[in-house]
Structure 1
Amino acid sequence: MQYDSSTFGVVALAAYQPNWELFRAQLRSIQNQTHAHFQCLISADGGFADVRDFVTRELGGDERFRVIGFEERLGFYGNFERVLEHVPADAKWVALSDQDDSWYPSKLETLVPHLADVSLVAAQARVVRLPGNEVVTASTQRKNVPLDALLAQNQVTGSLCVFRRELLDLALPFPRLNTISQVHDHWLAVCAKATGGALVVDDIVQDYVQHGGNVLGEVGGRKSLAKSFEHVTALSRKFQGSSSPLAMLRTANDLSFGWRRVMADALRTRVAAGTPGLDGGVAAFETGHGWIPTSRALVTGLRSGDIALPCFVEFIAGVPVELFSRGGTSHKGSSNNRSSPVS
Structure 2
Amino acid sequence: MTPARSHGAIVMAAYSPDAELFGIQLRSLAQQTVRDWECIISVDGERAPVEALVAEFVGDDDRFRVIGDGSRRGFYLNFEHGLAAVPADAVWIALADQDDRWNDDKLARLLPHLDEVSLVSGQARLVQHPSGEVTGVTDRQDRGPMHTLLSNQITGSLCVFDREILSIALPFPRLSTRVATHDHWLGVVAGALRGTRIVDDVVQDYVQHDANVFGDPSRLESAGIAASVRNVLGQAERFEGSRSPKALARMTFWTYVGWRQVMLDTLQARLGTPDPDLDALFGRSRRFSRLNSLLRAARTDGSIPPRFALEYRASWLAGALSGGRRAAARLADQS
TM-score greater than 0.5 by the shorter chain: yes
Q: How does 1:299-338 map to 2 (within 5 A)?
A: 299-324=296-321, 325=323, 326-329=325-328, 330-332=330-332
Match of residue 235 from structure 2: 235
Mapped partners of 1:145, 1:55: distance in 2:
38
1:208 maps to which residue?
Answer: 206
- Matches of 2:281 and 2:270, distance apart in 1: 18
* Alignment-mate amino acid for residue 113 of structure 2: H
Equivalent positions of 1:148-187 (< 5 A) are 148-187=146-185
Structure 1 unaligned regions, length at least 5 = 336-343
Of 221-230 and 280-289, more deviation after overlay is shown by: 221-230
The one-letter amino acid of 1:152's match is: L
Determine the structure 1 residue equivalent to 2:45.
46
**Cross-structure match for 2:286:** 289
Counterpart residue identity of residue 36, structure 1 = R
Q: Does 1:108 align with 2:111?
A: no
Query: Quick one: distance in 2 between partners of 1:333 and 1:69?
Result: 29
Q: Distance in 2 between matches of 1:31 and 1:58?
A: 10
CA distance in 1, matches of 2:6, 2:132: 33
C-alpha contact 1:149 1:297 (8 A) present in aligned 2: no
TM-score (norm 1): 0.90
The partner residue of 1:193 within 176, 191, 194 is: 191
Secondary structure of 1:331's match?
helix
Mapped partners of 1:9, 1:260: distance in 2? 30
SS at match of 2:161: strand
| Corresponding residue for residue 147 of structure 1 | 145
Give the structure with the larger helix fraction. 2
Root-mean-square deviation (Å):
1.9
SS of the residue corresponding to residue 94 of structure 2 reads strand
Q: Distance in 1 between matches of 2:245 and 2:140?
A: 33
Larger CA deviation: 281-290 vs 107-116 = 281-290
Give percent identity, aligned residues only.
42
2:194 counterpart letter in structure 1:
G
Distance 1:228 1:202 in 2: 31
Q: Could you tell me how far 1:243 is from its partner in structure 2?
A: 4.2
Alpha-carbon distance in 1 for matches of 2:246, 2:138 = 34
Q: Is the alpha carbon distance of 1:334 and 1:289 closer, same or farther for their aligned partners in structure 2, counting shifts above 3 Å?
A: closer
CA distance in 2, matches of 1:109, 1:283: 39
Instruction: Say whether the 8 Å CA contact 2:190–2:196 is kept in structure 1.
Output: yes
Cα distance, 1:272 vs structure 2:
3.6
Q: Is the 8 A contact 1:228 1:310 kept in 2?
A: no
1:38-79 per-position Cα deviation (integer Å, ceiling 9, x unaligned) = 111111122212211221221132011111121322111111
Per the alignment, residue 339 of structure 1 pairs with none
TM-score (norm: length of structure 2):
0.92
Q: Tell me if the contact between 2:265 and 2:332 (Cα under 8 Å) persists in the aligned partners.
A: no
Q: 1:205 is paired with a residue of what secondary structure?
A: strand
**Distance (Å, rounded) in 2 between the aligned partners of 1:87 and 1:236:** 35
* Deviation for aligned residue 1:127: 1.2
Which gives a bigger RCO, structure 1 or 2 (Cα 8 Å, sep 6+)? 1
CA displacement 1:298-327 (0-9 Å, x = unmatched):
222222222232221221221222223243
Partner of 1:88: 87
Alpha-carbon distance, 1:246 to partner: 4.5
Q: How many residue pairs get matched?
A: 330
Query: Deviation digits for residues 114-163 of structure 1, max 9, x if unmatched?
Result: 00000000111111222202223x22211111322211111000000000
**1:146 is matched by which residue type in structure 2?**
G
Partner residue, 2:22? 23
SS in 1 for 2:281: coil
* Shift in Å, 1:280: 1.7
The answer on whether the counterparts of 1:173 and 1:334 sit within 8 Å (CA) in structure 2 is no
